């Protein structure tokens, strides 16, 4: 990227207005309500998720939660459960 960009005062040509398609800030900040549960998992599973979470700079609990949510979504793709 050592080449300099040269801007000119040329006509833009045919332009098209694009409707706003981005989600609102309120939609981006939405978090589903969580429910605390006690669940005994195998040591092997926890070690796997902790290792993967470290590689991807995230929390292992979050990965497990997303895995379960993806499973639920795949089982009932037309039904979204929200409290």
Nearest CA to 66 among 83, 51, 54, 49?
49
- Those residues whose C-beta lies under 8 Å from the C-beta of residue 82, and which sit 6 or more positions away, are 32, 33
**Residue bearing tokens 């195998």:** 42
Q: Is residue 83 situated within a structural domain?
A: yes
pTM exceeds 0.85:
no
Report the domain count for the chain.
1
**What would the pLDDT profile of 38-73 be if each residue is shown by its tens digit?**
999 999 999 999 999 999 999 999 999 999 988 988
Which pLDDT score is estimated for 29?
77
Confidence of residue 77 (pLDDT cuts 50, 70, 90): low
Tally the C-alpha atoms within 13 A of residue 16's C-alpha that lie toward its C-beta: 2
Nearest CA to 52 among 39, 74, 67, 40?
67
Q: Is residue 21 situated within a structural domain?
A: no
- In which domain, by residue range, is 55 found? 41-83
Q: 82 by DSSP, 3-state: which? A: coil
**What would the pLDDT profile of 4-45 be if each residue is shown by its tens digit?**
888 888 888 898 898 888 877 777 777 788 899 999 999 999
Q: Is residue 8 situated within a structural domain?
A: no
């Amino acid at each position: 990227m050592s080449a300099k960009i040269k801007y000119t005062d040329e006509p833009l040509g045919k332009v098209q207005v694009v409707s706003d398609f981005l989600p609102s800030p309120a939609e981006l900040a939405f978090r589903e309500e969580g429910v605390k549960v006690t669940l005994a998992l195998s040591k092997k599973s926890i070690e796997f998720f902790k290792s993967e979470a470290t590689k991807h700079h995230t929390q292992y609990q979050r990965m497990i939660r997303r895995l379960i949510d993806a499973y639920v979504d795949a089982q009932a793709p037309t039904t979204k459960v929200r409290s």
